[in-house]
Structure 1
Amino acid sequence: MGNSIRVLVVDDSAFMRKVISDMLNKYPGIQVIGTARNGQEALKKRKELRPDVMTLDVEMPVMNGLETLKQLMEEDPCPTVMVSSTTKQGAENTLLAMEYGAVDFVTKPSGAISLDIDKVEHQIIDKVIYASKAKVIRKEEKNVNRPLSNRVVPQKKMNQKKIVAIGISTGGPRALKEVIPKLQASIQAPIVIVQHMPAGFTLSLAERLNSLSDITVKEARDGDFLQNGTAYVAPGGFHLSIKKKGDAFVAHLHTEEPRRGHRPSVDVLYESLAEIPTVDTVAVIMTGMGADGTEGLIKLKKTSNCYAIAEAEKSCVVFGMPKAAIRTNLVDEIVPVEEISRCIERLL
C-alpha cells in the first residue's frame, strides 16, 4: 500500500464512519488509516497519523467541521473534502468551508445519517483522489500583488454590448470571493457565472457573494433580462444559455443532457454566446478539475469577438480547466486570481 492515498475519516456517526471507510478502502489506491468522531479528535489524529486527505463532516458536537477546518488550515493544512447535508444551513456552512480552504464537498443524500450514502460513492472516491493532488492554500496566505502584464487588448469591436462569462469548478467559492467583490457597481456589463455545484448550493453562493459585493449577485432565473452591474449564478441542476431579445440579453435555463457530467456546463454557456455575434465576450476560465469550457471557448473564438482570461496555475486549487483552455492557444491572458478583477475592469 506504499503509494496509496492515506485518508482520515471524520464524522460523529459511527455508522457513517464505517460506511465511508468501507467505500474508500474498496478502492485499490486508497487506504483509510484512521477515523475521528469530532473535531478535537480529528486535529489530534492529523498530528499523529499524517493523512494525505481528510473527509470532514460539517455538523459535529464538541468541535464542528468549520471550527476544525479553520484551525487545521491555520496550523497544519491538509487537503480536506467536506461531507455535508443539503439543508440551507448546511449549504452556507459548506461554502464557508470552501472559503477556509476545503478542496471540495460531497452532500449526504438524506440527512446526517444517510443510509443511502452509497449513491455518492463514486463522488467521494473521485473527490478524495483529486484532493490528494490539489494545492492547499493556508487560510492566512495572501498572494503577493504583481503588476499587471502590459498586454495590448485587441480593440476589434469593443464598442459593442459586453458580457463577462466566468466558468469555474473545484476551489470556486474561494476564488470567486477574490474576484466578484472587487468589481465596481458601475461595471458596464452583466456577469454570468457557471460554478459546478448541486442544486441548493448555488443560491447560498449567490447570497454570500452578494453580501460581500458592490455589484448585485443573484441566482439566475429563466427569463431574467441581463443588467449591467449584476452577476447571475447558474442554478445547480440547470444549464444557463444567453439569448438575444431585441437589444437585450435574456437568461434561459434548461435541463438538456449534462455535458462532461456537468449541469450547469461552461461549454453550454459559451456556445450560447458564440451564437450572438453582436456581443463582445470576456471569457474567464478559473480553477477546476476537468476541461469544461474548452469546447465552448473554441466556438466563441471562431464566431465572435472574445477576449479569454485563464487563471494561472499558482493560484488554482486544481489547474484542470484553465490548463485545458490554455492548451488551445486561444487564451489571451493568464493571470493569478487576485488580478482577474482588474483585467476584467480594464477590458470594459
Structure 2
Amino acid sequence: MSIRVLVVDDSSFFRRRVSDIINGAPRLEVIDVAINGKDAVEKALKLKPDVITMDIEMPVMDGITAVREIMAAIPTPILMFSSLTQEGAKATLDALEAGALDFLPKKFEDIARNKEEATAQLQQRVLQIAARRGLLRRSAPPVRAAATTQSRPTTANRVEPLASRAPSSRYRASGKSYQLTAIGTSTGGPVALQKILTQFPANYPHPILLVQHMPATFTAAFASRLNSLCNITVKEAADGDVLKPGVAYLAPGGMQMMLEGRASNCKIRIIDGGERMNYKPSVDVTFGSAAKIYQDKVLSIVLTGMGADGREGARMLKSSGSTVWAQDEESCVVYGMPQAVAKAGISTEDLPLDRVAERVLIELKRSR
C-alpha cells in the first residue's frame, strides 16, 4: 500500500517539483496539493493523508497555524520546508513546537551535493516520518502554543523542575558518580531536548553537552529558545568556553564540538566540520572526546534520530566505564540512532521520552 502525501505550498513551481520527487519513489504517492494553510487544513480533514509536506510562509493561513489546526484535529506527520535564515530558523522551531516532526531547507542544494542526493533525502524523510502516523493518531496530545518570549522563565510560565517533586519508585540509581551529561540527537530532537531540559533544576550539578543535527543558522536560535524556557542556562557553544555546572552547551551547526584539558578545568574546542564527516556536528566526535577526558564520569543519552551517529562515541564512553542510555522505540520520531546503540549492546537502559528527565535526576541525586 502506498504512503499518501499531501503537498502544501503557494508556489506552483515548488508544488510540482516536490510532487515529482515524491511520486518518483515506489512507495510514495501524492494524492493532492494545497495552495495555502487553510486549503491544507480542509484537505487534511477530507483526505486523511499519511504525511503532509508544508511550506511556512503562505497567504490566507501560514504553515505554522495550519500545523496547529491539523495536529489538533487529525494528528498527521508533517515535514516542513524552511529557509536557512534566522527568521526561517525561528519559524521552523515554532512549527516543530506546534507539532511538525521534521524539516528540510527549501533550497535542496543546501542539504545535498547533487540532485540525486537531494531527491533521496526528501524521499527518505517522508518514508521515515510516515511510520509515526499510527502513534500520533492514537496519542493525540494537546498542542502547546509556541513560545514568543526570550526572557528567563517566570514563576507563571516555567516548568516545575522534577528535583522538587517526589521521586518515582520505578527507577533506582546505580550509585555511580558523574561530572558531565552528554546528549546526542537528530530528527525529533528539538522537541525531545526541550521536554527534557525544561525539567532540569537551575542547580543542575554539572555541565551538559548537547549535539543536535541542525544547520548552522538554526543552532543559535534553538539555544536562545531553550534558554528562554529552561531553569538551567543554555547557550550555543563557543570556542574556549570553560564548562560550568548548570550550563548546557549546544554544538554549533556545521562545526564539531570537542573537549580539551582536564575534567576539573575542561574547555570546549569548536573546529571545522571537515568534508569527510557525514554529520556536522557529530555525536560520535563529541562523545569520543568526552570519553577521553571524563573517562567513567559521563552520563550519556542517545535520543531520536536517523542513522547511527553516536554509536561509536557511545561505545568509547562505555569502554571508559561511563553510562549510556537510549530513548525507546515507541517515543522516538525516528528510531535510528537509539536503535544503533541498543542493537550494539551499548545502552544499559531504554527510556521513554517522558521519563528521561526523571531518570537522570534520580541517578544524579542518589549518586552524589
Tell me whether the two structures share a fold, i.e. TM-score over 0.5: yes
Of 211, 215, 218, the match for 1:198 = 215
| Pairwise CA distance, 1:110 | 8.8
Output the CA distance in 1 between the equivalents of 2:308 and 2:295.
27
- Note if 1:172 corresponds to 2:189: yes
Contact 2:325 2:350 in 1 (8 A): yes
The 1:322/1:278 distance shift into structure 2, 3 A limit, reads closer
| Pairwise CA distance, 1:323 | 1.8
Output the CA distance in 2 between the equivalents of 1:9 and 1:23.
11
Pairing of 1:120-131 with structure 2 (within 5 A): 120-131=118-129
- Note if 1:140 corresponds to 2:142: yes
| Pairwise CA distance, 1:257 | 3.6
Of 300, 312, 329, the match for 2:345 = 329
| Pairwise CA distance, 1:75 | 0.6
Equivalent residue, structure 1, for 2:98: 100
Count of residue correspondences:
335
Output the CA distance in 2 between the equivalents of 1:146 and 1:163.
22
| Pairwise CA distance, 1:311 | 1.5
**SS state of the match for residue 257, structure 2?**
strand
The 1:85/1:139 distance shift into structure 2, 3 A limit, reads farther
| Pairwise CA distance, 1:245 | 4.7
Task: Name the amino acid aligned to 1:55.
Answer: T
Output the CA distance in 2 between the equivalents of 1:174 and 1:246.
30
Taking structure 2 as the reference length, the TM-score comes to 0.84
Equivalent residue, structure 2, for 1:57: 55
Deviation per CA, 1:179-234: give whole Å up to 9, x if none. 11111111111001001111111111111100001111011111111111100111
Contact 1:164 1:192 in 2 (8 A): yes
Aligned Cα root-mean-square deviation (Å): 2.5
| Pairwise CA distance, 1:132 | 1.2
| Pairwise CA distance, 1:236 | 0.9
Gaps of 5+ in 1: none
Equivalent residue, structure 2, for 1:288: 305
Output the CA distance in 2 between the equivalents of 1:328 and 1:240.
24
Output the CA distance in 2 between the equivalents of 1:78 and 1:152.
37
The 1:40/1:253 distance shift into structure 2, 3 A limit, reads same
The 1:118/1:297 distance shift into structure 2, 3 A limit, reads closer
Output the CA distance in 2 between the equivalents of 1:146 and 1:108.
45
Output the CA distance in 1 between the equivalents of 2:16 and 2:344.
44
| Pairwise CA distance, 1:297 | 0.9
Output the CA distance in 2 between the equivalents of 1:240 and 1:92.
23
**SS state of the match for residue 228, structure 1?**
coil
Gaps of 5+ in 2: 145-165
- Note if 1:240 corresponds to 2:257: yes
Equivalent residue, structure 1, for 2:26: 28
Pairing of 1:225-236 with structure 2 (within 5 A): 225-236=242-253
Output the CA distance in 2 between the equivalents of 1:70 and 1:307.
38
Output the CA distance in 2 between the equivalents of 1:71 and 1:63.
11
- Note if 1:320 corresponds to 2:336: yes
| Pairwise CA distance, 1:107 | 0.9
Task: Name the amino acid aligned to 2:124.
Answer: D
The 1:186/1:79 distance shift into structure 2, 3 A limit, reads same
Output the CA distance in 2 between the equivalents of 1:32 and 1:311.
32
Deviation per CA, 1:46-85: give whole Å up to 9, x if none. 1232221110001111111000000111110111100011
Taking structure 1 as the reference length, the TM-score comes to 0.89
Larger mean Cα displacement after TM superposition, 54-63 or 130-139:
130-139
Output the CA distance in 2 between the equivalents of 1:109 and 1:217.
29
| Pairwise CA distance, 1:261 | 2.4
Task: Name the amino acid aligned to 2:257.
Answer: L
Identity over aligned residues, as a percent?
Answer: 40
